[in-house]
A and B are shown apart, each in its own frame.
Chain A
Amino acid sequence: MISITTTMKNGELKTYTNRYKYLINELKPKGKIFTPFNIISVPIMLLGIYLIYIRFTQGIGSITNLSQEFPWGIWIAFDVVTGVAFAGGAYVLVFMVHILNLKKYKPIARITVLNGFLAYLFYSCALLLDLGRPMQIFNVIIGNNYGVSSVLFLVGWHFLLYMLALLIEFSPAVAEWLHAPKLRKILSALTLGAVIFGITLSVLHQSGIGALFLMAKDKIHPLWYNSYLPLMFVVSSIYAGISLIVFEGSISQKVFSNQLNKENHVQHNNIIIGLARIATMVMFAYLVMTVITLVHEKNWVYLSTGMGYWYLLEVLGFVLLPMFLFFYGAGRKNILIIKIASIMTLIGILMNRLNVSMIGFKWDVANHYIPSWKELVVTLTIIFIEVWVFRWIVRRMPVLRKSPDWV
Chain B
Amino acid sequence: MDINRRNFFKVVGVTGVALAAGKKLKASSEVESDQVEFYGILYDSVKCHGCGGCEIDCADANGLPYPEDSPEVGVVRKTSEIQRCVVNAIETSKGEVFVRSQCMNCNDPACGAACLTQAMHKTKEGPVIWREDKCMGCRYCMVSCPFDMPRFEYGSTNPVIQKCNMCYDLIQEGETPACVYNCPWDALKFGTRRELLAEARKRIVENPDQYVDHIYGEHEAGGTGWLYLSPVPFNELKMKTDLQNSSYPALTKGFISAIAPVDILLPALLLGVHEATKARNKNQEDEQ
| Chain B residue with the shortest CB-CB distance to A230 | B255
Q: How many Å from the CB of B156 to the closest CB on chain A?
A: 5
Cβ contacts under 8 Å, A9 to chain B: none
Is A216 close to B, CB under 8 A? Answer: yes
Size of the chain A interface, CB-CB below 8 angstroms? 74
Q: How large is the interface on B (under 10, 10 to 19, 20 to 34, 35 or more residues)?
A: 35 or more
Q: B148 — which chain A residues lie within 8 A by C-beta?
A: 68-69
Residue interface mask A95-110, B partner, CB < 8 A = 1: 1001111010000000
Q: Which residues of B contact A101 (CB under 8 A)?
A: 274, 277-278, 280-281
Q: B62-88: which have CB < 8 Å to A?
A: 78, 80-81
Q: Find out whether the CB atom of A146 lies under 8 angstroms from the CB atom of B243.
A: no
B154 touches A61 (CB 8 A): yes
Contact yes or no, A59 B153, CB < 8 A:
yes
Q: Are A67 and B154 in contact (CB under 8 A)?
A: yes
Give chain B interface residues in 271-288, CB to chain A under 8 Å. Answer: 271, 273-274, 277-278, 280-281
Chain B: minimal CB distance from A56 (Å) = 7
Note all chain A residues with C-beta closer than 8 A to B139.
71-72, 132
Q: Roughly how many angstroms separate A57 CA and B157 CA in the complex, as a whole number?
A: 6
Segment of A22-30, A191-199, A380-388 engaged in the interface with chain B: A191-199
* A152 in contact with B142 (CB, 8 Å): no
- Contact of A294 with B by CB under 8 A: no
Judge whether A147 and B259 touch: CB under 8 Å: no
Across the interface, which residues of A come within 8 angstroms of B255, CB to CB?
151, 207-208, 211, 214, 230
Q: Mark B128-153, 1 if CB is under 8 A from A, else 0.
A: 00000111111110111010100111
**In the complex, are the beta carbons of A200 and B249 less than 8 A apart?**
no
Contact A193 B4 (CB under 8 A): yes
Closest residue of chain B to A155, judged by CB?
A: B116
Asked whether A134 lies within 8 Å of B137 as measured between CB atoms, the reply is yes
Choose one: A132, A133, A149, A165; the contact of B113 (CB below 8 Å): A149
Please determine whether A192 and B274 come into contact, CB atoms closer than 8 angstroms: yes
Q: B113 touching A58 by the CB < 8 A rule?
A: no
Other-chain contact of B251, A68, A103, A153, A217 (Cβ < 8 Å): A217
Known: A99-B273, A145-B119. A131 touches B138 (CB 8 A): yes
- Choose the segment among A156-164, A240-248, A272-280 that binds chain B (4+ C-beta atoms closer than 8 Å): A156-164
B6 within 8 A of partner (CB): yes
B259 and A145 form a contact (CB under 8 A): no
Chain A residue numbers with a CB within 8 Å of B199 are none
Known: A99-B273, A168-B3. A217 touches B244 (CB 8 A): yes
Q: Tell yes or no: A143 within 8 A of B by CB.
A: yes
| Of the residues B2, B13, B119, B134, contact of A164 by C-beta under 8 Å | B2
A150 interface neighbour in B2, B4, B115, Cβ under 8 Å: B115
A318 to chain B, nearest CB (A): 25
Query: What is the minimal beta-carbon distance from B1 to any residue of chain A, in angstroms?
Result: 4
Contacts of A190 in B (CB 8 A): 1-3
Cβ of B7 within 8 Å of any chain A Cβ, yes or no, is yes
Within 8 A of B (CB), among A218-249: 218-219, 227, 230
Interchain CB contact (< 8 A) of B263 among A60, A133, A193, A200: A200
Write the B215-257 contact mask toward A (1 if CB under 8 angstroms, else 0). Answer: 0000000000000000000000000101110001101101110
Question: Taking A59-B157, A131-B138, A136-B136 as contacts, is the C-beta distance between A151 and B256 under 8 angstroms?
Answer: yes
Quick one: given A68-B78, A145-B117, A215-B144, are A196 and B134 in contact (CB under 8 Å)? no
Q: Is the CB of A168 within 8 A of B116?
A: no
Closest to A200 in B: B266
The docked-state distance in angstroms from the alpha carbon of A99 to that of B281 is 12
Check if A147 sits within 8 Å of B117, measured CB to CB: yes
Q: Across the A-B interface, give the 10 residue pairs with the lowest CB-CB distance, nearest first.
A: A132-B137, A61-B154, A153-B116, A71-B139, A136-B136, A71-B142, A133-B137, A215-B144, A101-B277, A193-B1
Known: A58-B155, A139-B134. 6 other contacts (CB 8 A): A135-B136, A136-B117, A194-B3, A200-B266, A204-B263, A215-B114
Chain A interface (Cβ within 8 Å of chain B)?
56-62, 64, 66-69, 71-72, 95, 98-101, 103, 130-137, 139-140, 143, 145-154, 156-157, 161, 164-165, 168, 190, 192-201, 203-204, 207-208, 211-219, 227, 230, 361
Show 29 residue pairs from A and B whose CB-CB distance is below 8 angstroms, ordered by the A residue. Answer: A57-B157, A68-B142, A71-B143, A71-B152, A99-B277, A101-B278, A132-B152, A133-B158, A134-B137, A136-B117, A136-B133, A136-B136, A147-B118, A150-B113, A151-B114, A154-B259, A195-B270, A196-B267, A196-B271, A197-B7, A200-B266, A204-B262, A208-B259, A211-B255, A213-B143, A215-B113, A215-B143, A215-B248, A217-B248
